[in-house]
Structure 1
Amino acid sequence: MKLSEMKKLGEVIEDQRRDPEFRQEWDGLVIARQVAVVVVRYREHHGLSQRQLAEQVGMNKAAIGRLELGEHQPNFETLAKLTRTTGMTFHIDIANGAAELTGSAA
């Protein structure tokens, strides 16, 4: 198969979302994935390793790795800890049965 014949990631995800079980899991982790993007951007922008970021925010390297995977919902305490020393921001909007997070990597 040629690269040009492959489906784009968004198309693959939309195909998978037809499965109610996948859709529930995928949609339920939207905030986790958005936090992951902010954390990775911050770390890369500042030239930090996971270990260095972990030391900066008072977490362990494994916790930063889990955040960056975007597969586990972070709690409010974790989000607050990330903002305390980094300048990252997170804004959560909950409406109409859905939650959305916007954030910046400072």
Structure 2
Amino acid sequence: MMRKTWDEVKRGRADSPARRRGYDRAGRTIRLAMEIHELREKRGLSQRELAERLGTTQSAVARLEAGNVSPSLPTLDKVAEALGVELIVSFVDLDDRIAG
């Protein structure tokens, strides 16, 4: 039996549909985290101040901003309200995303 090189193994993993979905989910979580962080700083709020507005702890806000959690829609709605922004959720056709 012929063994695969490490590069072949990595390529195979990255090319699997399940792996790509995982990367896509992680990417969305990180983008949300970065946007929340940027909005908080733009509003001149500390993590502690945002946490008070959300009724949670500073460490929970830190985890959210670090991308260590995938926030639920109700959580994102609370964050949007606390930051004075509108939350917009939409679906994008994957064919359009790939073509564009």
Q: Normalising by structure 1, what TM-score?
A: 0.61
Residues in 2 aligned to 1:94 and 1:54: alpha-carbon distance in whole angstroms: 29
- What is the SS of the residue equivalent to 2:91? strand
Number of residue-to-residue matches in the alignment: 83
Q: 1:18 aligns with which of 14, 32, 44?
A: 14
How far the C-alpha of 1:97 sits from its partner, in A, is: 5.4
How far the C-alpha of 1:75 sits from its partner, in A, is: 0.3
Q: Which moved more, 1:23-32 or 1:75-84?
A: 23-32
Question: Which structure dedicates a bigger proportion of its chain to strand?
Answer: 1
Structure 1: which 5+ residue stretches go unaligned? 1-14, 99-106
* CA deviation string 1:29-59 (max 9, x = no partner): 2332222122111221123221111112222
1:42–1:95 Cα change, 3 Å? closer
Question: Which structure dedicates a bigger proportion of its chain to helix?
Answer: 2
Structure 2: which 5+ residue stretches go unaligned? 1-10, 96-100
State the AA in 1 paired with 2:60: A
How far the C-alpha of 1:78 sits from its partner, in A, is: 0.3
1:63–1:19 Cα change, 3 Å? farther
- What is the SS of the residue equivalent to 1:71? coil
Q: Identity of paired residues, percent?
A: 31
**1:91 to 2:59 alignment:** no
Q: Normalising by structure 2, what TM-score?
A: 0.63
Aligned residue number for residue 3 of structure 2: none
Structure 1 contact 29–71 (Cα < 8 Å) conserved: no
Structure 2 contact 40–83 (Cα < 8 Å) conserved: no
Larger Rg: 2
